[in-house]
Amino acid sequence: MKIIVAGGDGFCGWPTALYLSKKGHEVAIIDNMVRRKMDQELHSNSITPIASLEERVNKWEELTGKRISTYEGDLTHYDFLSEVLKQERPDAFVHFAEQRSAPYSMIDREHAIFTQSNNVVGTLNVLYGIKEFVPDCHLIKLGTMGEYGTPNIPIEEGYLEVEHKGRKDVLPYPKQPGSFYHLSKVHDSHNIMFACKIWGIRATDLNQGVVYGLETEETQMDPVLTNRLDYDGVFGTVLNRFIIQSTIGHDLTVYGKGGQTRGFLNIKDTVRCIEIAAENPADKGEFRVFNQFTEEFSVGELAEKVQKVAEEESYPTAITHLDNPRVELEEHFFQAVNTKLKDLGLEPHLLNDNVIREILRTVIIHKSRVIEGNVLPQASWK
């Protein structure tokens, strides 16, 4: 297939582009490079040194003979997006190109507005572009499990059968997002569902859990292809942040009681889930929702796992509890369904000590790049 990966320079997008290219698909990347600019804004960095996108795709072509086209531009600019769609005529459009950090969206008014305008307007442009230029294109949109929040009932995959006053219906699962970022994803889901209904667009919404890990088989082929590894309080996800803290002699900082439970998956499963969605497209007019995670952990459980491996690697560390900068339940029920991707062939890579050890050893190599002041929270919901 011809597949566009929007946000293809990012943590999830880059390994996805390589994986799909290796599988024989014709891949093009769209990216506005804003994630790299955010490092400058936040005075932060990836622990792993990241080559330019041009260097990355050139190295990939040198190693494999496969060419990935690149387009630098913004999905909020419709004229730019239109030209790319007319030139590429994709069969699938993989949409990672959004501001992805809840803490970033909560820094202040400007960051909240940027997050929602960038994410919602960009996705609306993609919907109109598909309608106008490539109506058979399958939109594969990265959503988030955070759209659901932490309800006191099991979380279904997108829809819930409801009985009310003697009548039944299947309705979108209620959303309880926990940040302006998560709200932007809810707005996206509603807009995509509406576009599928009125225009007959086909779309898959992948409500992804927290992604951990670093490399895939493709990114390990050469140092120029390596993936980014974030650790700061804005973009660093919890497991990676704990691993980095352990290597620099910092306590593992658990927010609040540590009972906050979420769905998690390995980056290797992220790229496979995209492939599964692309090869099994939604029907015309269908808005399909998959819950994209493989395991559930609490923050406290992850801290204990990292502490154990770090001590085995001669990096003993303590676990401390910080006042939670977020407004969230710290002890709650969490049970979510995640069967649809497994039914289509996903074989999960589960979290174990060796996965943590692999990331930790990579961090040790590059730990001189850690800016220690960035490992604590920098944004407050309050």
Task: Give the active site residues.
Answer: 144, 181, 185
* CA 348 distance to own-chain centroid: 17
Q: Which residues contact 207 (CB under 8 A, 6 or more apart)?
A: 143, 144, 145, 147, 148, 157, 158, 289, 290, 291, 292
Cα–Cα dist 84/32, whole Å: 13
Cα–Cα dist 242/265, whole Å: 16
Measured over the CA atoms of residue 204, residue 4, residue 262 and residue 235, the dihedral's sign is negative
Q: Which residues contact 151 (CB under 8 A, 6 or more apart)?
A: 174, 176, 333
Cβ-contact 73, 84 below 8 angstroms = yes
Paired tokens of 111? 């960051």
